[in-house]
Each structure stands twice: as structure tokens, then as C-alpha cells.
Chains A and B, each alone.
Chain A
């Protein structure tokens, strides 16, 4: 279908058949989407956040719809790394074997991040890691690590020490200067970056005078955040040498092209999976179609191709 177009990209040492991946937490571990998506046509699968022990997540309500977006405060609910290996990794090995699996890693402390990776090092079904130092929905850990250079560097260093596998670090947009954080993470040995996690926001019901989320604040995602995400991908890609997965409001192939032009090597589709569970397939097809229409024979030519 891609005809003469080379859709492959190399992401931090991972060979992807195309640049289309999924955003952590919006695709579970792929199983829920197997009826809708041919998993072997994705560039990579990024799992939902995995922590050392089980996390219960936050109180409900956990989501609220906002203008062209949604807020979530799921709080990284997950059964912990052991259950993840037994249930999800085993399933992925059987059903998505040809698609690289990137495990999104969470922790309350630097040691916990490293411990999750250490546990996964023996598992052959893991292609790489995405270290999430940017979740706005947990009190300890999460965004606290991603908001300043020193803790971001410390987590990256600890994780780097326990793996040689490709390791991406996922950054928060809720900072004054994302470029300096990206550089400090790069300096500690990150192979790539994921940009961006959700923007901290809130929603209020004027009638009841109450917040719509039990936790009051949550993370904003969807088309509403695309301009911010694009800007950050562009800024960071001009300041680092490592590749970037761009995300934030990718709803279709045009959005994906925009992220690549801004400097992303791959893109992740997040909230759009809720709107249309087959959306990733449309993005893959649309990207091929775009390349045909623009005479692009190697999709890598789009990366950083912004004409400014």
C-alpha cells in the first residue's frame, strides 16, 4: 500500500515500520483495540504506565470534557509490573510480536523507576522504555520529577544505569523552559524524548459550584493542546540531537505531518483513540497518501522539514 514510499523511521535505535505510535494510557496494552486495529500496522505500541507495585489511581469522577479536549485524573491506575508481565506482555508477545513494545514507566521515587526497568530487563518482549516524569495526576513522583532539571536528570541517570535498551523520557509541558529540561535529560543518556504529556487544567460546574474532577485538577489532552505541543516539539528539536515522539491532539494524518515538520521522528495518537478506535489506521494510511501527494519517497524527509 505504501508503494514506493519508505515509511520506516529509526527512533532512538528502534526500527519502526512507520512513524505512527500510540500515547501511553490511551491504548491500554493494545488488547482492547485488537478488534479495531491491526496492531502489526503500528510503528510501535506504547503501553499505559507501569509501576513497581499496584496503584489504585484517583477517585471518580476522573474525566471531564472541555472545549476541544478532555481532562483526566486517572492517576496511573495499574496492577504493577508483575501483573503487567504475566498478563499484558505475554498477550503482546503473542498478538503483536512484530511491533516493538515500548513500556511506559512510573515511580514514586527514583529507585522505583529503576526497579521497574530492572524487572523488565529479562523480558524479551520489551523493545524499549518511556520514562514518564510528567504525570500531573499523582502526588508523589510524576510531574515533580519532570518540572526541574536536577530531578529529571537524576531519574534519567538512575534508569540509564540499569538498561542499555532504547530509553525515551517523557516530558511535561507544565514548565517554564522545556528546552533546558530536555537538554539535561539528553546529557544523562536519554536516547529520545516524548513530547508532551498533558497540560495541567481544571473544570468547574457553575450550577453546582463544584469541580468536575474529584481531584479538582487534571491533565488536559486532545486538539486543544496541539498548538502548545507543536511549539514545544519545534523548540526542543532545535536544541537536542536525540529523536522525539511528538504528541498532543493528533487526530488525523495532517496533524501527524505537522508534528514531523516541527521536528518529531514519530508521532503518538492519544485521546483520538477514544473518539475513533480505528484512528491509528487512518493516520497511517493518511500519511502514506500525504507522501504520495507531495512526492515524498522517504517519510524521514518530513522530519524537521518546516519551511520557516
Chain B
């Protein structure tokens, strides 16, 4: 979905999100958070899947509809340290959404990008074209084997980490996947950043609904994240 949002498009950093009001005056009152996939001109693009009432309503909106408003860009995005030469992206399903802009920007700055992308099935692999346009290599894995390797994306990711030298790993996807990638990156001695999803009411740091347990105590995913250093996060056992 592409949204007309000039101010947001002008200031967005990769990994930030928008908080969308999908309906007014109905049962749905809270906004919905969505990662900004790409921004160009006066527009921002999001990728979403229909999950419940809110996303269903979004899918039914006609082109040009003006009933939605957005707050954003919000949150703390990906960090790209100076001097990185080779970055590994690992995505699971819609976890590819917040990584689109970053892949384009890094590639434009001459950073080599490798991508391992996974999804349950071929149809759920998103943003593949974008990655193939900018990355040096794109490895694909599907749980059902309908495309690429048969199995979890952790397998090609582990292979890449063993065979090549990376300066940073960026990952987003289901939390167990992120956790596995964080462990692989730690074993390989490569810094890893993850983008975490939490239920969010306010999106601006006020309500404390989105907390993440870190080595420095509770942090808020909406303003301290959604991107965190993997080493900072304390996973629930």
C-alpha cells in the first residue's frame, strides 16, 4: 500500500514505522503500526498482510481514499556504522518490509549486501525483486520447499556466516527466527540488529504497552526500538 505523506517521506530513516488510523468512529479505535518499506517523493510504501479487522478494512480501501491518517515516521531505525563493507540481511516473511529502504541505501553507498530470505511458502516471500536488484546474492528458503531451499532460512544464513566475512547482520521476522539468527551472528562474532514487534497503543512512548526486556531493564519498542542490538535483548527462556 502506498500512502501520500510528504512530511513523513521527507524525513524517514530506514527501519522506522508509521502508526495508521484505519477507521474512525467504529469499534476499532487504536492505530496500527506498520514498517515503512520504502519512501519516494511524497509517498511512503508499506507491505502488510491481512491479519484481523484493521488490516481487512485497509485492504478494502479504494485507491485515493482519504479516511486514513498517519502519525510518523516513528521509532528508532537501523544503525549503519561507518566503514561497513559487507552486510547480511536475514528476513522471515513480512520481516522483509522494514529492510527495503536500508538495502537500497547501503547498496547506493557501495556496501555489499547479501540476503537470506525465508517464508512458509513461495507466495509469502516479499520484496524479493527489490533485494535482487540491489544485493550481491539472494538465497531463498521456504518451509514447504515451494521455492529455493527446503527448510528454515537459518540454514542458508548459517552457511553464509560460516563462509563469508560480514560486518553486520540485520534481521526481521518471527521472534524465534530472530533469536536463532542473533545466536548465529553472536557465534560468528558479527554484530546483529533486530526489529521487534510488540503490541502498541500509543506508538510514541507514553503507554508502556510495548516493553522489551533488555540488559538495561525495560525499554519501549516504539521509541527505543523497534530496532535493537541483539546483544541488548534479554530473551524469555
Contacts and interface: CB of A to CB of B under 8 A. Distances in A.
B199 A26 contact: no
Interface in B95-135: none
B205 interface: yes
Contact of B208 (A57, A67, A223, A271): A57
B201 A70 contact: yes
A65 B211 contact: no
Interface stretch (A90-98, A185-193, A273-281): A273-281
A60 B202 contact: no
Interface in A36-69: 36, 56-57, 60-65, 67-69
Most A CB within 10 A of own CB, among B21, B29, B30, B199 = B29
A222 B29 contact: yes
Contacts of B21: 275-276
A27 B198 contact: no
B207 A63 contact: yes
A56 B218 contact: yes
A222 B209 CA distance: 16
B139 to A, nearest CB: 33
B31 interface: yes
A248 B36 CA distance: 33
Interface residues of B, number: 21
A260 B234 CA distance: 47
A198 B151 CA distance: 47
Nearest to B207: A274
Interface in B8-56: 21, 27-31
B209 A62 contact: yes
Given A70-B201, A277-B202, A65 B209 contact: no
B204 interface: yes
Contacts of A72: 201, 207, 209
B211 A68 contact: no
Interface string A2-13: 000000000000
A25 B201 CA distance: 12
A274 B204 CA distance: 8
Contacts of A64: 199
A26 B21 CA distance: 18
A273 B203 CA distance: 11
B209 A63 contact: yes
Contact of B211 (A32, A57, A69): A57
Interface in B156-210: 198-199, 201-209
A70 B31 CA distance: 12
Nearest to A223: B29
A28 B199 CA distance: 18
A275 B21 CA distance: 8
5 contacts: A26-B202, A32-B206, A60-B198, A70-B30, A74-B209
| A-B pairs, 8 with minimum CB distance | A28-B206, A63-B209, A274-B202, A32-B205, A32-B206, A274-B201, A67-B27, A32-B204
Given A65-B29, A223-B29, 17 more contacts: A26-B206, A26-B207, A27-B206, A28-B206, A33-B204, A60-B199, A61-B199, A62-B209, A62-B211, A64-B199, A65-B28, A68-B27, A70-B201, A74-B208, A273-B206, A274-B31, A275-B21
Interface of B: 21, 27-31, 71, 198-199, 201-209, 211, 218, 223
Interface of A: 25-28, 32-33, 36, 56-57, 60-65, 67-70, 72, 74, 77, 222-223, 271, 273-277
